[in-house]
Amino acid sequence: MKDDKSIKQPNSDVSGHSREHGGALLARQPIFNNKQALLGYELLCRSADKTLSNAQATADVIVNAFSEMQIQDVVGEKLCFINFSSDLLHVLLPLPSKRVVIEILEFTQVNDDLIATVKLLKEKGYQIALDDFQIDSESIKLLPYADIVKLDVLALGQKVTIEYFEKLKDIKDLKLLAEKVEDHDTYNYCLDLGFDYFQGYFFAKPDLINGKRIKENKQVLLRLMGMLNNPDVKVDEVEQTLTLDPVLSFKMLRLVNSASMGLSNRVESIRHAITIIGLERLRSWLMLVALASLSDKPEALSLKALEYAKMCERLVEKIHGEEHARNGFCLGLFALLDAFLDVSMEKIVPNLSLSHSLTQALMGRQGEYGILLAIAEALGEGRWDDINEAYLKAQDISLDQLMHIKLEAEYWSEQTLETLSQL
């Protein structure tokens, strides 16, 4: 190991490696204990945008790991280490505290607000790691709240590494992690010294996690963020706005139904999802989505999805009553998810954890909901000969009533998009 000490400078990118990686959503680098058993992974930003701020890079990692993908597919049952600057530490994180280790970046300013935030995060069950730790009068104020201290043994050099290790090793319940372990000699040296955890190229370089980014409607997202900043906002209002965007609705259900949330029962409606997450956590989640990506799809696709949602809602309401209308809205809203996400329904629907009847309908237009969705699609595309008139007659729905539902859905969809365009 080198005896010289290099000084790391703050970087505008939280992970210092923002460059083009094709379809990579993020990268992960394994962290091992002193028995070389896998402890977890540090998740790293792999955005092609080199201008990302620290907060944007962190948000990019969180959204990709917990919403674009399933976190268990990224890290299995292990811990995930995520870098945080002060920009996002104050956010009420919509993340599972038992799975996430919060890494506080080395150039984060230590003040009373930061310490209060770290205390709160500790109370919520998060583990705190101090990244690239260097001992000075400010950084030591965080030691009472740290679970893990990461020492960049390559940058510090052997002499300073020994000095730091001796000063830190006897702190109760504090684990020391050697990062930038690049070769066998360095590993043996750090192991003999007594480090608890290890990370570096000697074990593995970061590997890319590939996938297709799921995009959401910018205007709906901005509207939701504005609503959630109103302390008097009602769940009904949030639900109505959230369901205007199929992709946001998809991400919401995916997040709530992910294994990381630890729920015993499936969540199948947007209202139930909001209730489970809570408006505070929903606000934080949407902030992260907004930071990570604001993108678009053709307006015509959004219009058609809204029309299908309203038509299915009205049909289900007429047949099964108002209490089931939300299932109809969800059915129509998700009918075009494959077009929104550029991913097949076979890959999308299993992630939604919907009821069997909704799954059948979306995957193959099967069952009663499948019949209703097929009617809405034929109606929306003007394919009158494909409408199941026998089923409608059995449900006492006339063609005149069906036409009224179509016109109502068209008007509502156009008005809704016009309202959004004025935001």
Per residue in 386-406, pLDDT (tens digit) is 999 999 999 999 989 999 999
For residue 8, pLDDT beyond 70: no
The band of 94, judged by pLDDT with boundaries at 50, 70 and 90, is low
By mean pLDDT, which of 124-133, 200-209, 307-316, 414-423 is the weakest?
Answer: 414-423
* Domain-terminating residue out of 181, 210, 239: 210
> Do 72 and 165 share a domain, yes or no?
yes
Percent share of the chain, pLDDT over 70: 77
Average pLDDT over residues 165-182: 94
> Do 232 and 176 share a domain, yes or no?
no
10-14, 22-26, 300-304: which is most confident: 300-304
Q: Token pair for residue 382?
A: 């003007």
Instruction: Tell me, yes or no, whether 16 lies in a domain.
Output: no
User: With contact defined as beta carbons under 8 Å apart, do 52 and 26 qualify?
Assistant: no
> Do 49 and 182 share a domain, yes or no?
yes
Helices vs strands, H then E, count in the chain = 19, 9
Instruction: Tell me, yes or no, whether 266 lies in a domain.
Output: yes
Q: What's residue 230's pLDDT?
A: 66
Instruction: Tell me, yes or no, whether 4 lies in a domain.
Output: no
Question: b/e for 99-120, b at 16 or more Cβ within 10 A?
Answer: bbbbbbbeebebeeebeebbee
Distance CA 24, CA 207 (A): 10
The band of 155, judged by pLDDT with boundaries at 50, 70 and 90, is very high
40-49, 153-162, 246-255: which is most confident: 153-162
Distance CA 363, CA 346 (A): 7
> Do 391 and 375 share a domain, yes or no?
yes
Distance CA 256, CA 244 (A): 18
Residue spans of beta strands (DSSP E) within 186-280: 197-198, 207-210
Instruction: Tell me, yes or no, whether 362 lies in a domain.
Output: yes
Instruction: Tell me, yes or no, whether 8 lies in a domain.
Output: no
As for how many domains the chain has, the answer is 3
> Do 316 and 286 share a domain, yes or no?
no
Q: What's residue 402's pLDDT?
A: 92
For residue 262, pLDDT beyond 70: no
* Domain-terminating residue out of 210, 226, 245: 210
Average pLDDT, the chain: 79
Per the structure, the complete domain to which residue 227 belongs is given by: 218-292
Distance CA 152, CA 131 (A): 8
The band of 213, judged by pLDDT with boundaries at 50, 70 and 90, is low
The band of 1, judged by pLDDT with boundaries at 50, 70 and 90, is very low
In this prediction the pTM is 0.58
* Domain-terminating residue out of 192, 210, 228: 210
Q: Token pair for residue 170?
A: 């006897």
CATH number of the domain to which 93 belongs = 3.20.20.450
Q: What's residue 293's pLDDT?
A: 47
- For residue range 329-386, what is the model confidence (pLDDT) as tens digits? 878 888 887 877 667 888 777 766 677 888 899 998 999 999 999 999 998 888 888 9
Distance CA 10, CA 28 (A): 21
Q: What's residue 115's pLDDT?
A: 93
**What crossing angle do the helices spanning 279-292 and 235-242 adopt, rounded to 10°?**
30
Instruction: Tell me, yes or no, whether 5 lies in a domain.
Output: no
